[in-house]
Structure 1
Amino acid sequence: MRKLAPLTLAALLAWATTAAAAGPYWVDELRLPAAWQLSEGAGVRVGLIDTGVAADPDLDGAVRPGADFPDLGAPAGDAIGHGTTMALLIAGRGTAGTRGVAPKAEILPARLTGGPADAVAAVRWAVDQGAKVVNLSLGSGGRTTEYDDALTYARDHDVVVVAAAGNAGEDREVTSPADRPGVLAVSAVDRAGKFRDDVSVSGPEVSFAAPGVDISTSRPGEKAPTSGTSQAAAIVSGVVALVRSRYPDLTAAQVTDQLARTAKDLGAPGRDAEYGYGLIDPVAALSAEPDTGTPWWVIALWSAGGVLVLGAGFVLLKRRRP
């Protein structure tokens, strides 16, 4: 049974006023205006391993100096647009129209143009630069252990790693790095909260679901696709930043438990292959009294054989309800 700290009347009025204005559906679906009364992600750095970040008025003051992996001496920016969109979803300031999930968090952009070895170096760099969350809206197209060195490094430094589960049409299963132990793999749902098998893959490794269909930003000439698990993962990374800002003393494992205990259970009761522990719920995660213990299932998730342990205990986990 979770204990919820009641929102103040002012917070509820602010939420109602903001929700009445036209905005992205996912902001209303996740009740972000109410969540922002509790946390805006201040003081949390999010490592963004992606295609870089271009200048955007909604990101003024949000982006820290970045690095390239490998460093090819190319001009700073984002020729593809994918990384910029993820940055907006995570930490957009709302100056010109896009307010991200954690509008006071900071982005550490690692522009990735190489393969898994470069991604490993990028994750380690982000951790060393003070990231408390690392977003990996990318995938290898299959399963590999090549990311494990970086993921272990992040775990050893108390960093939450969030990754896109994989996109339908490109992937057949949850791909690496999302399938690796200790990573929060995120699937995509639409505006009705329904898992979309034409957008997202499913699998026992899925940890959470988040909006990932028709997720546009105010960026002119947006180049990135508007549907996919990349967007869903960015949204969850933003929620992690909110929780880490509100509860700075929680470990990465305890943050994971906080999200799981408060997620909105959808699909089959308990954890399932489409929604994981459920639809991420920022307001509940920020309102519930934290459990400062570390449950056995989190230890299993974060262990070297975490995927195998979870697979063996899948029936037991399905009985657990938030």
Structure 2
Amino acid sequence: MKKITFLITILILVFSCSKENPDEIIEPNSDFSESQKLLTISEVNKYIQTELKEKGDVNWTKAPAVVLWSAVMHGGEVLSIGYGEKGESFSVQKSARLVNALDNIYEIVASAEGVKKTSSVLSADEILNVTDVKVTHLETIIALQETDQIRYLEPIGYGSYLQEATPQQKSAGCSTGGQTIHSGDYRVISPNARVPWNFDLHKIPQAWNYSTGSGITVGLIDTGISANQSLLGSGFNDGASNGRSIQRYGTFIDSPWWWSDNVDGPNDRCGHGTTMAAAISSPRNNDFMPVGVAYNCNLISYRGTEDVVLNDYHERKGVSNALKGLGNNSRVKIISMSIGYPWSIGNVKDAVRYAYGKGKLIIAAGGTSTIFTNWYGVIFPATMSETIAVTGLKDNGYNSCGNCHDGNKIDFTIVMERAGDSNRKMPTLGFNTGTQVYVGGSSIATATTAGIAALVWARNPSMTRNQVLDKLKKAGDFYPNRNSKYGYGNIDALKAVQ
């Protein structure tokens, strides 16, 4: 499946560029909510826009039944249902109450749809308290909205709003080409590695005198790692980087059909995941290539998504499964997620809470967009209390990068863009061996923060997640206070590891 890719929140362009009158919005309590007419994609999108602007999220469970039903119908007829008590995101062993709640859901769906239970159930997660069912009738939605022991109802396959973005408003979230790096954007250290210009601003090279990330495993959920980049493969242990491992997995299914089960493998086809992996862990060697923040850490990469925007059924499932996989891996300390979505996704939220419950430090991108969506704040899952939200700055003080989101949900910032030239961001390894690229936005800021966290944890291997987080906070510019837009601010890596 080939779909248009975007920087992290480009997808919300659709709401500000509808081909119809933008003032014609759907009010949740309008007379229209009693209608049984299937809404158009534009009508559903206008409802979404209103919810985002007024509430900062979309609570599909409380949406007018016809809106939720229409979104389900436009999204492959798949309804995702989180069941159980509020906050009961997962359960390794289902209690009798949960089993009964699930059976009750299936009975309601089968009865309202007029089908056998077996034909309505699409999937049921073994760990998360979530199931996906096939829904075609408005009556099914109405009945479920009135049912107890349901945490959320979501049109997990809905992504049709993307078709309303115009070519001029689209920005490539994926790139596999190389670039020439300006000589002023790096310096060379032994044995012959390039240190990105912004590392010195965060005192990362000075922190290497105390820690290089050795012994710490970072989990990365993104678009995978390129099979053509040897320094994130056979050359991962090279030069001053040694005694570590890199593993690659895939949970994303590249298909427009929800029923497909053909996992696409671990290899990056987008380029984004490769650069995030490089920012975290690229080796320090004599290849004259950019070095990663934690150049001696271990890395486990999951290709959970096609690009950075989680707008596809299989991307949401892929990321959810990747979070469970990393949560279950006792070696993993840190999870880096430079991906996201404008509103919360139930099965991903449940999986974040599962991984968090396993003690993982989860770092997420605050959002990268364009001037068309500068009204929107921090994106999901960085909005969750279980994650650490990061955004990017220019190098002229506390000024957000040209397309970075900020707000009171942000915890930390990383300088990653030249104020005088927005094209000169942080250099990393490119998609192919021997190539380099500039990468920016809250994506690279997130990966950089994950690398700094690895340095801290390697320096203090017996610490808990909260103790490591406390070290990061105390190394922030604004500590002990929080800035209303930038949290604790820029991290001093040297201070954090001392």
Tell me the TM-score range normalised by the shorter chain: 0.7 to 0.9
Does 2:443 correspond to 1:230? yes
The alpha-carbon deviation at position 263 of structure 1 amounts to 0.9
**Which residue does the alignment assign to 2:369?**
168
**Which residue does the alignment assign to 2:252?**
70
Cα distance change, pair 150–193 in 1 and its aligned pair in 2 (3 A): farther
Unaligned runs of 5+ in 1: 1-15, 288-322
**Which residue does the alignment assign to 1:204?**
408
**Which residue does the alignment assign to 1:187?**
391
CA distance in 1 between counterparts of 2:457 and 2:195 reads 26
TM-score, length basis structure 2: 0.50
**Which residue does the alignment assign to 1:58?**
231
SS of the residue corresponding to residue 332 of structure 2 reads coil
Contact 1:161–1:183 (8 Å) recurs in 2 = yes
CA distance in 1 between counterparts of 2:212 and 2:460 reads 12
CA distance in 1 between counterparts of 2:265 and 2:194 reads 37
Does 2:282 correspond to 1:81? no
SS of the residue corresponding to residue 216 of structure 1 reads strand
Give the AA of the match of 2:344: R
Residue 27 (structure 1) aligned to one of 199, 202, 226: 199
CA distance in 1 between counterparts of 2:429 and 2:246 reads 21
CA distance in 1 between counterparts of 2:455 and 2:213 reads 4
The alpha-carbon deviation at position 196 of structure 1 amounts to 1.6
**Which residue does the alignment assign to 2:343?**
142
CA distance in 2 between counterparts of 1:124 and 1:285 reads 29
TM-score, length basis structure 1: 0.76
SS of the residue corresponding to residue 232 of structure 1 reads helix
Contact 2:225–2:271 (8 Å) recurs in 1 = yes
CA distance in 1 between counterparts of 2:319 and 2:263 reads 17
Residue 482 (structure 2) aligned to one of 241, 259, 271: 271
CA distance in 2 between counterparts of 1:17 and 1:69 reads 37
Residue 101 (structure 1) aligned to one of 276, 280, 293: 293
Please tell me whether Structure 1 or Structure 2 has the larger radius of gyration of its CA atoms: 2
CA deviation string 1:185-229 (max 9, x = no partner): 001112334332522111111010012320122426769772210
Give the AA of the match of 1:74: D
Give the AA of the match of 1:251: T
Give the AA of the match of 1:53: I
Percent identity of equivalent pairs: 28
CA distance in 2 between counterparts of 1:22 and 1:112 reads 30
The alpha-carbon deviation at position 25 of structure 1 amounts to 1.1
Give the AA of the match of 2:224: G
Cα distance change, pair 218–108 in 1 and its aligned pair in 2 (3 A): closer
The alpha-carbon deviation at position 181 of structure 1 amounts to 1.3
CA distance in 1 between counterparts of 2:348 and 2:392 reads 23
Contact 2:429–2:436 (8 Å) recurs in 1 = no
Residue 215 (structure 2) aligned to one of 35, 43, 60: 43
**Which residue does the alignment assign to 1:115?**
315
Does 2:428 correspond to 1:217? yes
- Aligned pairs, number: 269
The alpha-carbon deviation at position 87 of structure 1 amounts to 0.6
The alpha-carbon deviation at position 183 of structure 1 amounts to 0.5
Structure number with greater CO (CA < 8 Å, separation at least 6) is: 1
CA distance in 1 between counterparts of 2:189 and 2:200 reads 9
Contact 1:38–1:246 (8 Å) recurs in 2 = yes
Unaligned runs of 5+ in 2: 1-186, 238-243, 254-261, 306-313, 418-424
**Which residue does the alignment assign to 2:495?**
284
Cα distance change, pair 204–35 in 1 and its aligned pair in 2 (3 A): same
The alpha-carbon deviation at position 143 of structure 1 amounts to 3.5
Cα distance change, pair 225–219 in 1 and its aligned pair in 2 (3 A): closer
